[in-house]
Copies of this chain bind each other. A is one copy, B any other.
């Protein structure tokens, strides 16, 4: 057991850090606005020009064949540098692993390079109004037509869909069995037979959209895997969504560092307050309790990082994470929420300022999406600990 990065890994870190230091833009507008979306696409294109947008991919698709460890290094550097959120996330982290595992060589050649350059931006379309965490209850369907399929029905909570060019999700292609009747489709969002209705969030911006399908034609070449295999394929994707793929520690490490700095500022602000009119009221110095909580979060982020190194090692030696990824999901989502909740407390009435509010709203969703934490805890109890269903 060691924690020593190889010379190659250290060189890679140095290269990434240097490139980011020279190219990371100052705060872009929200990717849920039209101009912000374009700005984020431009950033991804620049990232891709340095072959840094999908480092773990094979070179022919625009990656560098980076190892899991190198990918974790990239993520640490990316978020530490304060780089923008990834508008390509659904594609690169959800769809791409599925294409690699279940797609055809043609499909990979056709879709991956454009995904890496953000020429095409992908929306995920898992949920339906009547099926939240319960994928098998999906009702939207696809009917066979000459050379392909036509999609009918409704999807919701489709992230990025407000501006994305394409989407992916499951549609029912036969009625046999809740699971066995589902097929995995990729589809365009710019045709008349699909209507995109943005959903405004607490911040008023459309982070999600509803999709209404009215016979959208999808050629066979955009079916991922065999018809009826959608459930099995999607499970692989969502487990990568829950597991390592979606939630590298880098983001939480950067958040934890910012949180500690915020707590230290707060301490000094309390000191200042002693000399003005607030004195008697604020005699109670709120520092210690909040600082203790901030440092606890910082240590938990470190624990998540180390835990991920161990998991990465297991994966690199060919093991599966499986249900254990549910532990990571619960841990990071509740850590992220604790960090942002504490930041809100530290900011008090200043909470509306700064990047923290957006992060808070995003973190609030953490325990809910990719399988609620209640469901994750059931999975841990039943599949990891072996308790009865």
A2 within 8 A of B: no
- What range describes how many residues of A lie at the interface? under 10
Residue ID in chain B nearest A292 by CB atoms: B289
Q: Which residues of B contact A288 (CB under 8 A)?
A: 288-289, 292
Q: Which residues of B contact A289 (CB under 8 A)?
A: 288-289, 292
Q: How many subunits of this chain does the assembly comprise?
A: 2
Q: Whole-angstrom distance between the alpha carbons of A292 and B292 in the complex?
A: 10
Which residues of chain A (145-193) have a CB below 8 Å from chain B? Answer: none
Q: Which residues of B contact A292 (CB under 8 A)?
A: 288-289, 292
Can you report 6 A-B residue pairs in the complex whose CB atoms are below 8 A from each other?
Answer: A288-B288, A288-B289, A288-B292, A289-B289, A289-B292, A292-B292
Q: Whole-angstrom distance between the alpha carbons of A353 and B289 in the complex?
A: 28
Residue ID in chain B nearest A295 by CB atoms: B289
Q: Is the interface of A mostly helix, strand, loop or mixed?
A: helix
Residue ID in chain B nearest A288 by CB atoms: B288
Q: Whole-angstrom distance between the alpha carbons of A345 and B292 in the complex?
A: 16
How distant is A108 from chain B, measured CB to nearest CB, in Å?
A: 48
Give 6 nearest A-B pairs by CB, closest first.
Answer: A288-B288, A289-B292, A288-B292, A288-B289, A289-B289, A292-B292
How distant is A28 from chain B, measured CB to nearest CB, in Å?
A: 39
Q: Whole-angstrom distance between the alpha carbons of A292 and B287 in the complex?
A: 11
Q: Whole-angstrom distance between the alpha carbons of A102 and B289 in the complex?
A: 52
Q: Whole-angstrom distance between the alpha carbons of A383 and B353 in the complex?
A: 42
Q: Chain A 274-294, CB within 8 Å of chain B: the 1/0 string?
A: 000000000000001100100
How distant is A388 from chain B, measured CB to nearest CB, in Å?
A: 16
Q: Chain A 55-72, CB within 8 Å of chain B: the 1/0 string?
A: 000000000000000000
Q: Whole-angstrom distance between the alpha carbons of A164 and B379 in the complex?
A: 47
Q: Whole-angstrom distance between the alpha carbons of A281 and B103 in the complex?
A: 58
How distant is A377 from chain B, measured CB to nearest CB, in Å?
A: 14
Residue ID in chain B nearest A293 by CB atoms: B289
How distant is A19 from chain B, measured CB to nearest CB, in Å?
A: 39
Q: Whole-angstrom distance between the alpha carbons of A288 and B287 in the complex?
A: 9
How distant is A381 from chain B, measured CB to nearest CB, in Å?
A: 14
Residue ID in chain B nearest A287 by CB atoms: B288
How distant is A284 from chain B, measured CB to nearest CB, in Å?
A: 11
Residue ID in chain B nearest A289 by CB atoms: B292
Q: Whole-angstrom distance between the alpha carbons of A221 and B288 in the complex?
A: 63
How distant is A380 from chain B, measured CB to nearest CB, in Å?
A: 18
How distant is A2 from chain B, measured CB to nearest CB, in Å?
A: 28
Q: Whole-angstrom distance between the alpha carbons of A288 and B292 in the complex?
A: 9
How distant is A37 from chain B, measured CB to nearest CB, in Å?
A: 42
Q: Whole-angstrom distance between the alpha carbons of A135 and B42 in the complex?
A: 68
Which residues of chain A (246-292) have a CB below 8 Å from chain B? Answer: 288-289, 292
Q: Whole-angstrom distance between the alpha carbons of A374 and B104 in the complex?
A: 51
Q: Whole-angstrom distance between the alpha carbons of A292 and B289 in the complex?
A: 7
How distant is A130 from chain B, measured CB to nearest CB, in Å?
A: 19
Q: Chain A 75-104, CB within 8 Å of chain B: the 1/0 string?
A: 000000000000000000000000000000
Which residues of chain A (345-361) have a CB below 8 Å from chain B? Answer: none
